[in-house]
A and B are shown apart, each in its own frame.
Chain A
């Protein structure tokens, strides 16, 4: 427990000491929100007649959480190959406490970053009711846990950050695009609707949208959405823990293949 707490705390301290990470986590989603929102605003008719910027807002919060989770899990790769985690891996600490620390730290950071954006909502022209805030934060915490766990499970077995970028572009970003963050499932072709229905993140976005604006009733049912989001969060965290416990040293390959001359 002590190990997990110390490792989680380290994640937070590190984050706060790297201003570039703070900018990196907020700027791209906010930029996307402003540009896409402004561009689509005129032609887009959101379910329920909301403005596109307003409709797109929950998806933007989830994107901030996704970016935060990506940033905090990608560091695992460098850390384990040639950094801090090497020493942790060969210490008598249980791999599970390592997993717990990384997951808790990453989740906390992702939640805090999403939460900051939520707190900024009034400045951006939305004022979610005070009653909406608690459920929204709970949903956000689950989404943060899910995305951190997923990122960690993937990053742990990768040898290079380049590999993670590939996974990010092929899996994580498309997952967000198909989560109902960016466009609603209604009106999409059937195959796309099916992909969105199969995407667990869809239910996190739907839960968050509903928490922020109970009038936005479109999409999957409230209970089902929350249950799937909870299952996604627990499943991803368990997957990360299982991967770390099973492969405590990560991918089992030589770090520096030797180039020996033949006699």
Chain B
């Protein structure tokens, strides 16, 4: 018997005029989970973030945090949410501590308890030594930490972050990830959006968003296991060469004795041909022999999250439609 998830999203949709930016998305996030919404730009993650942060009302569907929905108890819901926006919401002209104190006052806190809480959070975020400095003098990584401290002032149950690593250098990214894992480990549910595969890789669970729809949901390992087998990538010099090579490879595989396996796919993505197959490794010698000189490199690997994305959507992450030259492929 498991308790209902802390965050329950049910058929959430949002349109802007005629354009449906988010289309009936449903999922749940358990308490203490680190959950990543992964998708390309325009995939709907920012819209979903805006709905969950209560910045925008949904067109249809609803969501609950700790059982509270925006329609029933908006203020109660907001008390349970800490929100970190992609564009900084710190006042650059105020000092780090002033920012926390003003926001605390906005939340209805004040006096000694607020000062103590702000001090403790700055300590925890490792920015206490900059408390008296104006935010405009902080690096991007430090400012993001202050931003998180600010979002945690009222001890929310859920911390929502929109592309939190945007604009950070690799070192700051790494320490931010460690911090988020630590928060989740401490019981704060962390829900973030990202377009970075390696960032999503570290999440406990991932929701894959594409064109406004949730196309996959699960742990990174589960999602990759679903793709199955291995992935063979033949890199060529140009898109045209890749198109020709993909057709030739698909024909060659179709012509082999065994019938086209439903799990086998040949797709072209840009200047590369990708072959997903349970026995991709066994194809290497024959492909290398038959098509020598027609590709620049041949890579065999376990499926990545990018492969999961291609598998589920039929197009590449940066928007290129995959073309499938054979019946075994997927129509784009």
Interfacial residues, chain A to chain B (CB-CB below 8 A): 2-3, 5-7, 9-10, 13-14, 17-18, 81-93, 97-98, 249, 252-261, 263
Contact = CB atoms under 8 A, between A and B. Distances in A.
A92 B47 contact: no
Contacts of B108: 2-3, 92-93
Top 8 A-B pairs, shortest CB-CB distance: A258-B42, A6-B105, A82-B87, A87-B89, A92-B78, A261-B319, A3-B106, A92-B75
A7 B102 contact: yes
B87 A86 contact: yes
A92 B107 contact: yes
26 contacts: A3-B105, A6-B101, A10-B91, A14-B91, A81-B87, A82-B85, A83-B89, A83-B91, A84-B89, A86-B55, A86-B85, A87-B89, A87-B106, A89-B55, A249-B55, A254-B21, A254-B47, A256-B46, A257-B16, A257-B19, A258-B41, A260-B211, A261-B320, A261-B321, A263-B315, A263-B321
B19 to A, nearest CB: 8
A17 B321 contact: no
Interface in B150-170: 150-151, 154
Given A86-B87, A87-B150, 17 more contacts: A6-B101, A7-B102, A7-B105, A10-B98, A84-B89, A86-B85, A87-B83, A87-B103, A90-B53, A90-B55, A90-B83, A91-B103, A249-B56, A252-B56, A253-B16, A254-B21, A263-B315
B106 A90 contact: no
A20 to B, nearest CB: 12
A259 B106 contact: no
A9 B79 CA distance: 24
A92 B76 CA distance: 7
> Chain B: interface residue count, which band?
35 or more
Contacts of B85: 82, 86-87
Interface string B80-92: 0101010111110
B302 interface: no
A256 B56 CA distance: 14
Nearest to B77: A92
B106 A83 contact: no
A14 B134 CA distance: 11
With most chain B CB atoms within 10 A of its CB, the pick from A2, A249, A254, A258 is A258
Contacts of A18: 93
Contacts of A17: 93, 134
